[in-house]
Amino acid sequence: MRSCFRWGGFTLLIIGFMGSAALAGEPTQAIEKTTDKIIGIVTDPALKEPDKSEEKAERIRKAVDERFNWEEMSKRTLARHWQDRTDAQKKRFMELFAKLLEETYLDKVEGYSGEKVLYEGEQVDGSYAVVAVKIVTQKETEIPVKYKLKKEGNEWRVYDISITGVSLINNYRKQFNSIITRSSYENLMEKLKGKVEKEQ
């Protein structure tokens, strides 16, 4: 009887372990895949030429686009202002905001110079996950980055990035709310449009 329990417990342990191991990898794998892809693009010697910079940027945008959940990001950034928008407005906002984030991301990775990316573990809670990453620069600085992901269908997509504890979405939410409450949503859109156009 006793050995029966023991074996049962042992089997359960094994199953639990396998289950969590299989589950644990997914969000990290998702981040790793996209990160490797982007590092591959920025370090590709064929894309180093100045006349290839547009192609390079386009490929990075595409890689980012696949991994980022723009709708979730937009919703969380506009927060309570999201409900007040019509579908057309939501769509327009998502377009512009995605562009701004793409450009911000491009800005960050274009200066890539052999920084190491270390995967420091993940936490999964149902269809939400946090993947912790440490970026070690050539200048001996370590930058802790946290990706927040949500699973939709079979894909884990990023809806927030925290760099040294500063959440991108929270930061934009503060800015957008400040602009909307001081002036108007239209003004926010105008500024967003101006920003995105200037970047290009």
Partner 1 sequence: MSIQQRYVGFILGCFLGGLVLCHGTYAAQGPAWHQDAEALTHEGYAHELSRHRYTNTEQKMSGSVGAPVMLCQVAEPVGMEEDSEMWGDEGASIPDPLEPLNRVFFQFNDKLYFWVLKPVSQGYAQVVPEPARVSIRNFFSNLVMPIRAVSCLLQGKIEGMGIEVLRFAVNTTAGFAGFQDVARQHLDLPLQDEDLGQAFAFWGIGPGFYIDLPFLGPSSLRGAVGWAGQLYLNPLDYMVKDVWANIGVRGYDVVNKSSLRIGEYESFKRAALDPYVALRDAYYQYRIHQIEK
Which x/- pattern over 177-196 shows residues binding partner 1 (rule: CB under 8 A)?
xxx-xxxx-xxx--xx--x-
* 174 forms part of the interface with partner 1 (CB under 8 A): yes
Kindly list the distances between the CA atom of residue 142 and the CA atoms of 34, 85, 120, 158, 179, in Å, as whole numbers in the listed order: 21, 40, 12, 22, 33
Are 24 and 16 in contact, with CB atoms under 8 Å apart? no
Which residue of 1, 4, 88, 166 would you call a contact of partner 1, by CB under 8 A? 166
* 175 forms part of the interface with partner 1 (CB under 8 A): yes
Q: Which residues of 58-87 are buried (b: 16+ CB within 10 A; e: fewer)?
A: ebbbebbeebbbbbbbbbbbbeebeeeeee
- Residue holding tokens 């030429």? 49
* 29 forms part of the interface with partner 1 (CB under 8 A): no
CB of 171 to partner 1, least distance (A): 5
CB of 106 to partner 1, least distance (A): 10
* 79 forms part of the interface with partner 1 (CB under 8 A): yes
Binding site for partner 1 (CB under 8 A): 79-80, 100, 103-104, 107-108, 111, 138-140, 164-167, 170-179, 181-184, 186-188, 191-192, 195, 199
